[in-house]
Every structure is written in structure tokens, then in C-alpha cells.
Chain A
Amino acid sequence: MKPDRNTLLLNIVLLAGVVVLSGMSLVWGETRIMVWQALGDILAGRHGAGAIIVEQLRLPRALLAIMVGGTLGLSGAVLQGYLRNPLADPGILGVSGGAALGAVSVFYTGLMQVSVMALPLGGLAGALCAVVVLMGLVGRGGTLVLLLAGAALSSFAAALTALVLNLVPSPYASFEIMHWLMGSLTDRTFTHVWICLPGVVCGMLLMLSAGRALDALTLGEDVAESLGFRLHGVCGMQTRIVLGAALSVGSCVAVSGAIGFVGLVVPHLLRPLTGYQPSRLLVPSALGGSLLLLGADMVVRVVSAGTELQLGVLTALVGAPVFFIRVIMLKRTGS
């Protein structure tokens, strides 16, 4: 059948893009280094300047771009499918904001000294609270209620984040609000990769497992349930999606800050290429998210001289126009 082959082709193209951009982001940075020599050094276990730059600075950064972008793209696609609303995005709905609040509460208060895993757990707790509040507020409320609830939740979480940053002892904390609200991958370490990984893997698997149910949901909740899917309850789809999104977004935001619009833009661009079928959109959205973030991070590294541009600024520059287009479409159709 054609759509299946198209999706496969799309996945292969996106994957190839991710591989190429990852390679480029290892080679291309602020300083010119001999990459082949650096790779040789890494393999031989020598700590030359090039080896350190590639292994300790550029590699974790590229891996995090793949993980964070994939998570945001996938959770955008899943939330849009589940809420049957193309404007659903972890950033717009305040899930990322909640995660940032949770992570900030752990990072600056010294709870992280207890265990590094406290950081993603803080992000998870914040994201989970945000999703639960959101689902409770919205119910079957429709697009307007969803967006209002998301806006309220985001600004509330941002205010609390600013408050926490003002109250904590570090004199630098209050200047770091931009990192948490806009996101950045600068100077991340392999520790960040490791603490982010379990949540990302588990969360993504949970969300991918909901693919078939998302298809069934296109015709409404009653049809989905009559087709044999459990939506509510402990093992229901809702729990899986909420937990999956909270796990992965929480872990990612804990290390990268809240990078917006990836979950909005990527599914929006890829949806026509997947026949508008939610389950087909999931893997391409994850790959597309990785691709977008890798690309954005490369631009950030090249453009910024001295003071580094926040990654979220770039994704917002790309994403906000899509948001505008969506709003205009919403006005036209009136739904």
C-alpha cells in the first residue's frame, strides 16, 4: 500500500538527516579542530584538545539535541492526536513550564546534591502536575478552553520559576530565568545525557504504544472505546499518554530548559506527508523534532558571538509563524 511506503521513505529521509546533522554538529563548532585527529585521539584514549572538545562538549550536545527534539516532536504529535487539537504542544500547554519549575526547584535548592537523578525527577513531578491540572481544567472543553488553560498554566509556572530563582542563595540564579523559559544546550555534559535518557526512553515507548488508539480516537472517544481501547482508568490510554509525556518532557526540560514550539511545528509540517493518520505521524515527528533541534543548535553556535543565543529563541522564530497560521485557520473554519 502506498501510504505505508511513503511513511517508511519519510522516516528514512528524516533519519538520514538526523545522522548527517549529528555528524556535522560534531565537526562544526566555534573553533576549527582536526576532526579526524580528534576521533583518532578518542579511539586511542588520548586527551588532546580536539578529543576533549568533540567527546565532552559537542557529543553530549548533539545527543541531547536528538533526545530533546525527539521528545518534543513526539509529545506534540501524541498530545495533538489525543486532544484532537493541532495546537496542542508541551510548551503551549504549560507542560514544559511545569517541568522547568520542578527542575528549578531541585537544581537551585541543593536537592540535586542528594542525587543527580533528583533533577529529572523534579522535572517529571512538575510536568505531571501540569498535565494533570490541564486535563482536569479542560475536560472536554475544546480548543479555546485548552489554549486558555495552557496560557494560564504557562504564565503561572513561569512566575513561580522566577520566584524560586529569586529566593535561592546563588547570586547568579535570577539571571538564569532565560535558560529555563527559552532553553539551551550550551555546556551540557554526559551526566545530563545519562540522567535524561531513562525518562526519554520510557516516555517515548509509552507514547508510541498509544499510536493505534490515537487512530481510533480520530472518530471520537466513543468510537475508540467501542473499537476495544481502554481510554480511562489505571491502564488506559490517557494514563499512558500523560505519564509518557510527563516522563520524557520532564527529563528533557530538566537538562535543557523549556524549548518551545518544536512540538507544534514538526507535526504540523509532517502531517500532510503521513496521510493525516496520527499513528503514522509519531515516528516522523520524533525524527523531525531531533532534526529541527540539531539544526537550530548549529545555527545558535554559528550565529552567536560571545553571548550565546538561547535555543528557544530560534525555535520560537520558526514556530510562532506556524502558530499564527494555525490561529488564522481556526478563525476561518470557526472550529
Chain B
Amino acid sequence: MAGIIAGILGCIPIARAQPLPRVVSVNVCTDQLLLLLAAPGQIAGITPLARDCWNAVLCERARQVPVLRPTAENVVAAHPDVVLGESYTAAVALQVARDRGARVIVLPPAQALADIPDQIMVVARAIGATARGRELTGAFASRLASLSTGRDPADPTAAIYAASGFVTRAGSLPDDVLAHAGLRNYATVMAQQTSARLSMEMLIAHPPDLLVLDRSGQGTSLAQSMLDHPALKQAFAGAHHLDMPARLWLCGLPQTLDSIAMLRAARDRLETAP
């Protein structure tokens, strides 16, 4: 909280000199970067998804700013100076905003922890919150340094198992998180697996040391109920399983570091447990 106030105070002199750009975000990840960095009143709209606590860590804060569905029409009607988006979403809305003269920032999905401070700074510069950005990246770097551990070929393996039986593969943010937490990604170790999906039977027959259940999405579905199958509960009892809220690593944010902390703790439990 103090950080936010400091950030706001820091913005005031600049605001006097030149009005802050009004910003619209059309993607849940840029929504949250915006919420972290922007001054109040600067946000003209974020996506409704940002208010969903299953997907967004900053859902509470998102309730205090306007939301708009990320369609071209809505984006144009909001008259933004800056539009934030991700490479694969709302392409038409971004193009239209570009044609209307808005500054469009397109960020690729974060694939490693190292992308996070870069993305924070890109957004911070675009919306005129450079100081706040520096502050966040500094805190991020020091926390990451305190959390991450060296890699070892004998590290325990961990599988990130998501609804419908999808496993997280190399080259993704969660994979990098595993590496920083001192765990080897099971999907990389079991390299002969060609599919992104893994049956429960395979998982139980060739078990990883730690099963990370990627909890995402509200409500009930067959895909989600798979993670609660009694066979998994029995095969990965106690220290061998960890429930991970997917929102922590769905987007690259400073909060993503919480997932490293959780995994480190789980790894420590593995070593003490039989």
C-alpha cells in the first residue's frame, strides 16, 4: 500500500507538467501490469477477465477501475492514448486503435522470469510511470535472487498437471519457475512423450517426485474434476502433491515469485518426507 501511495505521489509532479496518457488494456496480463503501474484515473478500461480471481492476482484492485470487453468498438469509444495488448489476442481491436492514432504496445507472453522486469519497464515507460516501474523491478530482482537456487541434475522432478491432463512443457513461464525452485520438469525428463496431454495411468506408472496441480477456472467441469481423481490422491499423497493457483504464473508478474516460494517449500518437504 505504501508503495502505491509513494508511486502516486511520485507521479503528481509529472501530471502537472503533462497530463498522463489514458490507457486501455485488452489482455488479462497487460491488465495486471497496468494495475500495478498506473495512477488512479489513468485507466480507461481493462478486460472483465481481470476481475476474475481465478485468473488474475489483482482481481480485487480490478474492481475499482472500469472494465470493457476487448472489442474494436469498445476500444475506439474509450479514446485511449495508449493501448496495451498481447501478441495473440484482440488483434483487430489493436489494429483499429493504431489507425485511430493511439500508441499500441504489444507484449509477447512472458516465457521466463527474466521477461517480467523487461515487460514491467516497457509498460511503465509507455504510461509515464517510469519511477514506479524501476521500484517494482528492483524489488523483483532482489526477491528473485533470494529465492532462486542453483540447478542440479539430481534435483527432484515435478510435473505440472492441468485440467484435461495437460502437462506444462519446456519454454514456458511455469517451466522456468520450476527451474528456479530447484525442480526438474517431468515433461522434459520424459522427453519421449510427444503429446501435450498425459494420461493419469502414465503419470501413476512413471510418477514424478512432485505433482503440481495447476488449479484454474471457477466452476465444475470434467476437465477440472480430473485433478481430484482418487487415483491421483492415492498415488501422490502428502508431500508429493501441491495445489498451485494458476493465476500466479498465468501472467508474468512480481507475484509469480510466490509460486517459486511455494515450490521451494514443497521441495523441502519432499526431502524430509519419505
Residues of A at the B interface (CB closer than 8 Å) are 29-33, 47, 49-50, 52-53, 56-58, 107-108, 110, 112-113, 168-173, 175-176, 179, 187, 189-191, 305-308
Whether the Cβ atoms of B207 and A49 lie closer than 8 Å is yes
Known: A47-B235, A191-B230. 4 other contacts (CB 8 A): A57-B204, A57-B231, A187-B229, A305-B194
Whether the Cβ atoms of A33 and B230 lie closer than 8 Å is no
For residue B234, CB closer than 8 A to chain A, the reply is yes
Whether the Cβ atoms of B164 and A172 lie closer than 8 Å is yes
B221 contact from A33, A58, A170, Cβ within 8 A: A170
> Which of A53, A58, A113 has its CB near the most chain B CB atoms (within 10 A)?
A53
Whether the Cβ atoms of B195 and A49 lie closer than 8 Å is no
Whether the Cβ atoms of A110 and B205 lie closer than 8 Å is no
Taking the closest CB of chain B, its distance from the CB of A63, in whole angstroms, is: 14
Complex formed: what's the CA distance from A175 to B219 in Å? 14
B201 contact from A30, A170, A176, A305, Cβ within 8 A: A30
Complex formed: what's the CA distance from A112 to B196 in Å? 30
Taking the closest CB of chain B, its distance from the CB of A292, in whole angstroms, is: 23
Taking the closest CB of chain B, its distance from the CB of A163, in whole angstroms, is: 16
B223 to A, closest residue via Cβ = A172
Whether the Cβ atoms of A31 and B220 lie closer than 8 Å is no
Whether the Cβ atoms of B220 and A108 lie closer than 8 Å is yes
Whether the Cβ atoms of A53 and B204 lie closer than 8 Å is yes
Known contacts A31-B201, A31-B202, A31-B206, A53 near B231 by CB under 8 Å: yes
For residue B197, CB closer than 8 A to chain A, the reply is yes
B199 to A, closest residue via Cβ = A30
- Please give, as numbers and ranges, the residues of chain A lying within 8 Å of B194 by CB-CB distance: 305-306
| 21 A-B interface contacts by CB (under 8 A) | A30-B199, A30-B201, A33-B205, A47-B234, A52-B234, A53-B201, A53-B231, A56-B229, A57-B201, A57-B231, A58-B201, A108-B221, A170-B218, A171-B216, A172-B217, A172-B221, A172-B224, A187-B226, A305-B194, A306-B196, A308-B199
Interface size on B, residues (CB 8 A): 31
Complex formed: what's the CA distance from A58 to B199 in Å? 12
Whether the Cβ atoms of B219 and A110 lie closer than 8 Å is yes
B200 contact from A108, A176, A187, A305, Cβ within 8 A: A187
- Please give, as numbers and ranges, the residues of chain A lying within 8 Å of B77 by CB-CB distance: none
Whether the Cβ atoms of A170 and B196 lie closer than 8 Å is no
Whether the Cβ atoms of A49 and B205 lie closer than 8 Å is yes
A52 contact from B164, B196, B216, B231, Cβ within 8 A: B231
Known contacts A56-B229, A170-B224, A49 near B218 by CB under 8 Å: no
For residue B5, CB closer than 8 A to chain A, the reply is no
Complex formed: what's the CA distance from A173 to B222 in Å? 8
- Please give, as numbers and ranges, the residues of chain B lying within 8 Å of A306 by CB-CB distance: 194-197
- Please give, as numbers and ranges, the residues of chain A lying within 8 Å of B231 by CB-CB distance: 52-53, 56-57, 189
A29 contact from B201, B221, B230, Cβ within 8 A: B201
For residue B110, CB closer than 8 A to chain A, the reply is no
Taking the closest CB of chain A, its distance from the CB of B169, in whole angstroms, is: 13
For residue B163, CB closer than 8 A to chain A, the reply is yes
Complex formed: what's the CA distance from A50 to B221 in Å? 27
Whether the Cβ atoms of B219 and A49 lie closer than 8 Å is no
Taking the closest CB of chain B, its distance from the CB of A42, in whole angstroms, is: 12
Taking the closest CB of chain A, its distance from the CB of B130, in whole angstroms, is: 36
A109 to B, closest residue via Cβ = B220
- Please give, as numbers and ranges, the residues of chain A lying within 8 Å of B234 by CB-CB distance: 47, 52, 56
Known contacts A172-B164, A305-B195, A52 near B224 by CB under 8 Å: no
Taking the closest CB of chain B, its distance from the CB of A186, in whole angstroms, is: 8
B218 contact from A50, A56, A169, A179, Cβ within 8 A: A169
Complex formed: what's the CA distance from A172 to B204 in Å? 24
> Which of B219, B221, B223 has its CB near the most chain A CB atoms (within 10 A)?
B221
